[in-house]
């Protein structure tokens, strides 16, 4: 029977993997779980996963070259999320180890989080609640409606598309910046980034993180936004120059912002930004709902079952290099 190590910390297993996925995994594999309520170091992971054929990796689990050097039995690393930046894919390929990733199950959850923080930013709900909880009676101030406001979506993948439909249902105008031409529609306009920044009342950063987008929201970008506009980042911390964002908030160049990601460990918002009075910050929970988490966990288990049965799952990222799968009866046309 296939031996699997699941690296999720014990106190995160229920929330980030779940009973259904664990039960499904046990039907075809011998399963070991991380016994500690913390992330394992690379050396600890080697010791814990020794003798295992497969590793199901938690969001912060490291998979450096040393892991593949030390685990000759390891055939596949399955990332229980989309982000595989903690995995040295080149090293995995050099050792013939397959790497897979889960598809997005969080589009609706993150899009709803963005709608929620837009409502909060526009109406000051958190400020009122904080004042009442602090024992004071807050003075009412004039809020803003989403209806009639312009939402700028930077990046138009699955989350962006879900957000677009929600925003239109609220009566918002929607403008989008994305590299590929969009299919023409009457209720959405595609604009270059400078034009979007100049027009939008809310700017939602949903671009992919890569070399071209790193630091795209810098001092110039924030200066191009309207001073009563709001900035929202639900993508990746690397897309934002955090010092430039803090300076823009302090200078009154922005009305406020909402952050679910940042450059702190595990993509958490940085403390200095999170505690700013014009910032709504949450600890990377935009996609933390039962359907979103269960989707990725069950997909990860289904990927491993497909491999055990001789099929290559769609989430494989280096299938042509995964020569260790020959142990499981796969025929691999390795890249030369």
Of the residues 236, 276, 295, 321, which is catalytic? 236
CA-nearest of 236, 212, 232, 213 to 83 is 236
Active site residue 324: no
Active site residue 8: no
Of the residues 79, 284, 321, 324, which is catalytic? 284
The CA angle 69-3-57, to the nearest 5 degrees, is: 60
Sign of CA dihedral 106, 107, 108, 114: positive
Distance CA 147, CA 161 (A): 18
Residue 220 three-state SS: helix
Strand order in the sheet with 54-57: 29-33, 2-6, 54-57, 76-79, 98-101
CA-nearest of 141, 127, 51, 110 to 260 is 110
Distance CA 174, CA 153 (A): 7
Provide the annotated active-site residues: 236, 284
């Amino acid at each position: 029977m296939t031996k699997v190590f699941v690296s999720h910390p014990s106190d995160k297993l229920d929330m980030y993997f779940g009973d259904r996925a664990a039960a499904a995994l046990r039907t075809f594999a011998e399963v070991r779980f991380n016994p500690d309520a913390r992330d394992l170091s690379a050396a600890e992971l080697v010791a814990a996963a020794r003798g295992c054929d497969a590793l199901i990796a938690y969001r912060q689990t490291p998979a450096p070259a040393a892991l593949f050097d030390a685990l000759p039995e390891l055939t596949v690393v399955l990332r229980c999320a989309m982000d595989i930046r903690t995995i040295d894919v080149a090293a995995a390929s050099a050792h013939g180890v397959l790497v897979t990733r889960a598809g997005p199950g969080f589009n609706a959850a993150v899009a709803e989080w963005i709608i929620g923080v837009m409502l909060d930013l526009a109406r000051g709900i958190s400020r009122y609640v904080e004042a009442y909880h602090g024992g004071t009676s807050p003075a009412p101030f004039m809020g803003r409606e989403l209806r009639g406001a312009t939402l700028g979506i930077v990046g138009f993948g699955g989350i962006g598309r879900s957000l677009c439909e929600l925003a239109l249902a609220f009566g918002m105008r929607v403008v989008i910046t994305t590299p590929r031409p969009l299919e023409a529609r009457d209720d959405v306009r595609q604009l270059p980034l400078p034009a979007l920044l100049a027009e939008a009342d809310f700017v939602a950063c949903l671009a992919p993180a890569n070399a071209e987008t790193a630091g795209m929201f810098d001092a110039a970008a924030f200066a191009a936004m309207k001073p009563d506009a709001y900035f929202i980042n639900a993508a990746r911390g690397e897309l934002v120059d955090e010092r430039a964002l803090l300076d823009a908030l302090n200078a009154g160049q922005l009305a406020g912002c909402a952050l679910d990601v940042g450059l702190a460990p595990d993509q958490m918002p940085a403390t200095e930004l999170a505690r700013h009075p014009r910032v709504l910050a949450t600890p990377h929970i935009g996609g933390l709902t039962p359907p979103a988490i269960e989707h990725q966990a069950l997909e990860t288990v289904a990927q491993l079952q497909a491999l055990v049965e001789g099929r290559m799952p769609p989430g494989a990222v280096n299938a042509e290099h995964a020569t260790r799968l020959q142990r499981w009866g796969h025929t691999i046309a390795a890249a030369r």
